[in-house]
Every structure is written in structure tokens, then in C-alpha cells.
Amino acid sequence: MSHKIQTLSGYIHEYQKSVLQPEAFWARIAESFHWKKTWDKTLDWDFEGPDVKWFVDGKLNITENIFERYLHTKGDTPAIIWEPNDPKEDNRIITYRELFELTNQFCNALKAQGIQKGDRVIIYMPMVPEAAIAMLACARLGAVHSVVFAGFSSSSLADRINDCEAKMVLTSDGNFRGAKQIPVKAVVDEAIENTPSIEKVIVLKRTGEEVTMKADRDIWWHDAIAGHSAAFKAEEMDSEDMLFILYTSGSTGKPKGVVHTTGGYMVYTQYSFENVFQYTQGDVYWCTADVGWITGHSYIVYGPLLAGATTLMFEGVPTFPHAGRFWEICDKYQVNQFYTAPTAIRALQAHGLEPLEPYSLQSLKVIGSVGEPINEEAWHWYHDHVGKGNCPLVDTWWQTETGGIMISALAGITPNKPAHASLPLPGIQPVIVDAEGNELTGNNVEGNLCIKFPWPSILRTTYGDHEKCKNVYFSTYKGMYFTGDGAKRDHDGYLRILGRVDDVINVSGHRMGTAEVENAINEHPKVIESAVVGFPHEVKGQGIYAYVICDMEGRTEESLKNEIKDTVRKIIGPIAKPDEVQIVPGLPKTRSGKIMRRILRKVASKDLSNLGDTSTLLNPEVVDDIIKGAGLK
Ligand code: PRX
């Protein structure tokens, strides 16, 4: 039974029910899934712990809700349409039955290589169907997957492997990305020099480049699956058994392993997918994210496949071999729902309208945005030129920690408002609070965004460090989940996300902790101290600006700046490379030694208004030096 909301009054009605009787509301939705044993209690929760359990003691396997649930009706329906990086290469269309068999076969291969229920498996792969197959196979045999975006460096990969003590890495020889070929296996080799828990590496042949294969440790994917049966009995999982860990950056220290569990994540991703995108059976849906991010998990793989949808997976980039590539793919497969990030829209907008001209885009019914605030200009360009003015544009706000879309229009059902995520989904209770945590009710209010009641796909913990989960998300405002974002409820009652209020920057929709980038910069032997802030960037949304105190001996300013950028690229990955490095004589500090980031943010944004009183600083003179050094005086 579908739980797709059809009308605005239907939304209002469902929303009210979900707030008045959340347990009854979610129990009714969960009933449409296949459970090996139904739950005893719908919800157990306490945000103090935090301790949240949905569908308590329910038993299931999420993949049975993709395969066994649909095979008799959808066996021959395409589950995944795969479009390669290079349009000259053949595409692949994989039906539900084929995906089922490929998943089972890979389950058998994983088992033969020693993977058991509860083991952690790292997936460091290109955007190919095998990445989805790997995730589903882990889920089917009860292993916990942790996908690491294949643009991260070997040391980032090693940190993640060590944090969750993974037993295996799934990877490829190399990845195609636009005109580039990236030697992924070599990155894995370097990472696992320092990861004692890794026993095996399974390597998919993708680019055909030469790689080293270590005997007894490395095995080719095609050899690993050879001779294995296409049948595998799904493991019985508890609702609260871990489904996956996904690492994400926070304002302090190293990335945290956000933990999602089976039952609630399953229910929420399907429900939100069907409602936000108004997916109708037979539609072709395309989300351009990478499976290395939460968007890829929830809205390329799990949400669409749980809904029995056809999900398109694209290996490449928006501008290769030409800037009309996205639109070409939309026409080629008659895509009905298209979901991308503002940064991609802005990058394509810069190419003008010409790349759009050869394509009709008439199949599009819904367009979506995710990952960062979408500015009004990009919103209108996307709406007018891609959606041709007649597709609802869903601006979906959510986070790795929320597992699924939290605030968004439901396409064509609830109203669109440019640059506003708009209204919460049923079951989501957002509140705007002031600095003391008082709820700001009514319209025309602005403050920090919290959620005051659990929803099924809320994170359960941060892997190996529950205290951290409590401190980061549940301690700032008592009894509430704190998102880290600022928000405004406008005069009509629509929510607008204002961006992060903590030390997290959002670069091209990717989260970066300023402390994480500073730690990487400080690894350079010539660096004495550094401070990193975000600044407005035309395409990326935010760019990374690093202020660095250095020992200049034997270096020119230019060479040092490049070395610093390179250090960050090596330690974290290309996405964290600072856009600007400014060598400074000192950093503005308070008398207690705290860096005044507010001043640094202002200078980085070239905005010298309201710098505030700098005379109370420990070293007020550096402010002038910094302003001069930035070329603003
Ligand atoms: O600041 C918000 C921004 O992205 C953050 C979450 O990043 P991540 O966990 O990587 O997940 C991104 C994809 C779900 C949020 O705290 N963000 C995400 N979507 C939006 C957004 N900001 C404004 N509008 C959005 N639609």
C-alpha cells in the first residue's frame, strides 16, 4: 500500500496525525513493509541518553523489502540504469531480478572471504552498479557497510578504517572521472599499510590499469564471485541492528561515524522518497550524488529501491565531455525526477543556455536540490531553464545524521517558495530556538534549528563514542536534537535554512570541519599556527580560506602557499584544498587565547563593516596587518 500524500489538505491532515499520535502514524506506515517478526513497541526514546529505538524487537532484512517484496511484480522492471562516465561506453540496465541475483552472488563471495554478520566493510568505489550491489550484499548478510567517498585521501581512508576496525575494503583498480583516471587501488594500498584490521581487499576491474595485487590479501571481484550461487538467504536483523556507518565532519576533531540502524531508516527513506518526489511507478528517477554521501545512500540506493523505483546512476561529472551532459542523460532516459546540488546548478549556469538548447527536457516532472542553501538566482535558473517553469522544485533540507529529507516541499502538493526548504515532512517537528534554547513560536522568527521529537531515521550514535553523540547533538539544547543550522520562519510560516552556525563549512555541498582542515595544514613543517574559515564562493557556495603563521625561511610566499594547499589535498583529499591561503604575522586572539574567527570571516568575505571593537584583543595590531595582507587596504 502506498502512503503517498495526494493533496495539500492530505498533507495537513497527515502532518497533524503524525504530531498528535506519532507512534500510531509510523506504525501504520511500517505495516506496509515485510517483517520477519513485527515489533512489540513502536518507539522507545529519551533524548538525554540519547537512546532512541524504533519498531522495538521487530525482525527484518532491509533487502527483502527490495527484492522478495517486489520480485513477483517487478522482476523485469529496471532497478538501476547505469550511465558511464564516457558516453561512448555501453550503459547497463539491471532489472530487479538481476540485481537480486548479483547481490546474492556477492553475499556468497563476501561470506567465502570471511565476512559475517556485524563485521564492518569499507566501500571505496566509483559510481558503478557494483557499489550499490556491495551495499545491498552487506545489508543482506548483516555486515555493516561504511562507504568512503573515493575522492578522500589514503590517510582519511585509513582513519575511517581504523575507527570502525573494518575487516575488508571493496575498491576498484581505478576510477574514471571526466577526462581523468584516478588510481584508486594505489590509494587503498597506501591506506592499509596502517590498518591492522583489514584482512582482505576485493578489487573491481574498471579502468584496466595496472595495479599491484598482494597474494592472500587482494582478490579480483570477478574471481571472488566466480562459481558462487545467485541464491542467498537474508540474515534476520533486529530493527536496531546497525545498517551502516557514514563518516561526516563536525566542528571539532576528526570526522564522526554516524550510525544508522535498519528498521527506522528503511521506513523513513521509502516514505520520504515517495512523498517528496511524488514518484509514480514506471517513472525514471535520477539523483546525481555520489554513493559516498548520505544523499547517495538514501536517495540513489535505499529509498528508491525500497519504493520499487527505477534509479539512474551516473558515473561521471556534469561537464564531461560537454556542459550539456546532464541534459543529454535526462533526454536519453526520459528522466522524470531529477535531484542535484546547487553547486552543480551554479557551475552549469556559468556555461550559459547554449548547452541546454539541443535537449527538450520534456520528461521532467520534478526537480530537486540538496546539500546547501540554494540562492535565488540559481533557484530561478534551475526552475525556468531546466524545469521550464512548470516543474515543482523541491529544496530538500536534511543531514547525514537525519538519514532522510526533513524539510521540503512535497512536489506539486505543498507550495514552492524560492530558496525556502518550506515545510516539515509528516513526523518531523522542527523548532527554532534562541541562544538560551527557548522555542520561538509564531512567524517571522530566526534562530537555531532543532528537532524536538524523534523520527525513524535519526542517527542512533556516533560509532565507538556515544558521549560525542550526546555532546554534539543533544546537549546544546536540553531535550532536543540540535542540527547545527540556523533557520528562519518567514511571515507565511515557511522555513528558510540560513546555513551552519558552528565551525562547519559547506563546500560544494560537502561538509568540512574547520578544525580538520587546520589540523591538516599544521602538519606542514613550516606552519606554526593556522585558522580556517569559510567565505562566500560563487560556484562552491562556500570556499575555504586559511590564515597561516609560517616560518618563511628558505621559501617564497607563493611556494609555501602551494605546499600548504598540497598538504591538505594529500591529508584529506582534493575537496578540502583551501581556495585561499594568506600568510599572516599573527592571528587575532581574545585575552583568553581564543581565535576571533568572526574577524577572520569578515576579512575573508572582503567585508570590513562592523568589525567590532578590536581594542580588547590580545594583539589588536594584527587585524590591520591581516586586512592589508588581504589586499583590502
Ligand atoms: O547546513 C545544512 C546543509 O548541509 C548540512 C548537512 O550536510 P550533510 O550531512 O553532508 O548532508 C548533505 C545532504 C543531505 C546541513 O546541516 N544543507 C543540506 N541541505 C540543505 C542545506 N542547507 C540549506 N538548504 C538545503 N536544502
Tell me which residue has cell 576498484.
172
Instruction: Among 457, 487, 517, identify where a domain stops.
Output: 487
CATH of the domain at 124: 3.40.50.12780
Phi, psi for residue 605 in degrees, rounded to 5: -90, 10
- The residues facing 449 across adjacent strands are 432
Ligand 1 pocket member 151 (CB < 6 A): no
Nearest ligand 1 atom to the CA of 497 is: 23
Q: State in Å, rounded, how far the first CA of the chain is from the last one.
A: 65
Q: Is residue 336 part of a domain?
A: no
Tally Cβ neighbours within 10 Å of residue 466: 15
> What gap in Å lies between CA 466 and CA 470, rounded to an integer?
6
Do 107 and 243 lie in one domain? The reply is yes
Grid coordinates representing 345? 546548478
pTM for this structure? 0.97
- Determine which helix (DSSP H) or strand (DSSP E) holds 112, and give its type and residue range: helix 96-112
> What gap in Å lies between CA 618 and CA 628, rounded to an integer?
19
Ligand 1 pocket member 424 (CB < 6 A): no
Q: Is residue 474 part of a domain?
A: yes
Phi, psi for residue 70 in degrees, rounded to 5: -115, -15
Task: Quote the ligand 1 centre to 511 CA distance (angstroms).
Answer: 8
Phi, psi for residue 196 in degrees, rounded to 5: -60, -20
State how many domains the chain has.
2
Q: Is residue 406 part of a domain?
A: yes
Which residue's alpha carbon is nearest to atom 22 within ligand 1? 372
Strand 580-583 to 541-550 pairing: parallel
Ligand 1 pocket member 378 (CB < 6 A): no
Ligand 1 pocket member 497 (CB < 6 A): yes
Task: Among 291, 448, 485, name the best residue to mutate to test ligand 1's pocket (greatest count of ligand atoms within 8 A of Cβ).
Answer: 485
CATH of the domain at 589: 3.30.300.30
> What gap in Å lies between CA 535 and CA 531, rounded to an integer?
13
Do 471 and 516 lie in one domain? The reply is no
Q: Classify 590 as helix, strand or coil.
A: coil
List pLDDT tens digits, range 506-564. Answer: 999 899 999 999 999 999 999 999 999 999 999 999 999 999 999 999 999 999 999 99
Query: Is the C-alpha dihedral spanning 347, 352, 354, 356 positive or negative?
Result: positive
Indicate the pLDDT class of residue 79, thresholds 50, 70 and 90: very high
Task: Among 397, 422, 451, name the best residue to mutate to test ligand 1's pocket (greatest count of ligand atoms within 8 A of Cβ).
Answer: 397
Do 111 and 225 touch, CB atoms closer than 8 A?
no
Give the per-residue pLDDT at 304.
98
pLDDT at 616 over 90: no
Do 483 and 518 lie in one domain? The reply is no
Q: Is residue 353 part of a domain?
A: no
Grid coordinates representing 368? 530537486
- The residues facing 333 across adjacent strands are none
Give the per-residue pLDDT at 250.
87
Which residue's alpha carbon is nearest to atom 12 within ligand 1? 371
* Residue whose C-alpha is closest to residue 163's, from 246, 237, 241, 49: 246
Task: Quote the ligand 1 centre to 430 CA distance (angstroms).
Answer: 15
Tally Cβ neighbours within 10 Å of residue 606: 12
Ligand 1 pocket member 396 (CB < 6 A): yes
Do 179 and 250 lie in one domain? The reply is yes
Share of the chain above pLDDT 90, in %: 96
ipTM: 0.99
Q: Is residue 140 part of a domain?
A: yes
Q: What angle do CA 279, 428, 386 make, to 5 degrees?
A: 40
Q: Is residue 291 part of a domain?
A: yes
Prior bond of 585 cis (ω within 30°): no
Helices (H), 387-495: 466-469
> What gap in Å lies between CA 175 and CA 184, rounded to an integer?
6
Q: Is residue 482 part of a domain?
A: yes
Q: Is residue 334 part of a domain?
A: no
Ligand 1 pocket member 371 (CB < 6 A): yes
CA distances from 434 to 473, 481, 487 (A): 16, 14, 11
Ligand 1 pocket member 115 (CB < 6 A): no
Ligand 1 pocket member 173 (CB < 6 A): no
Do 224 and 170 lie in one domain? The reply is yes
Rg (alpha carbons) of the chain, rounded to whole number: 24
Q: Classify 581 as helix, strand or coil.
A: strand
Which residue's alpha carbon is nearest to atom 21 within ligand 1? 372
Mean of the per-residue pLDDT values for the chain? Answer: 96
Residue-wise burial string across 393-427, b where 16 or more C-beta atoms lie within 10 A, e elsewhere: bbbbbbbbbbbbbbbbbbbbbbebbbbbbbbbbbb
Tally Cβ neighbours within 10 Å of residue 23: 12
Do 439 and 522 lie in one domain? The reply is no
Tell me which residue has cell 586586512.
627
List pLDDT tens digits, range 86-97. Answer: 999 999 999 999
Tally Cβ neighbours within 10 Å of residue 350: 11
Average pLDDT value for residue range 12-23? 98
List pLDDT tens digits, range 396-445. Answer: 999 999 999 999 999 999 998 999 999 999 999 999 999 999 999 999 99
**Residue 609 contacts by C-beta under 8 Å, 6 or more apart in sequence?**
602
**Residue 147 contacts by C-beta under 8 Å, 6 or more apart in sequence?**
122, 123, 124, 125, 131, 135, 244, 246, 291, 292, 296, 297
The angle, 0 to 180 degrees and rounded to 10, between the axes of the packed helices 262-277 and 22-30 is: 90
Give the per-residue pLDDT at 325.
98
Do 184 and 75 lie in one domain? The reply is yes
Tell me which residue has cell 540496465.
93
Q: Classify 269 as helix, strand or coil.
A: helix
Do 171 and 289 lie in one domain? The reply is yes
Give the per-residue pLDDT at 611.
85
> What gap in Å lies between CA 217 and CA 500, rounded to an integer?
42
pLDDT at 587 over 70: yes
Do 134 and 196 lie in one domain? The reply is yes
Domain span at residue 168?
8-317+392-413+420-487
Give the per-residue pLDDT at 584.
96
Give the per-residue pLDDT at 613.
82
Ligand 1 pocket member 405 (CB < 6 A): no
pLDDT at 296 over 80: yes
Give the per-residue pLDDT at 1.
62
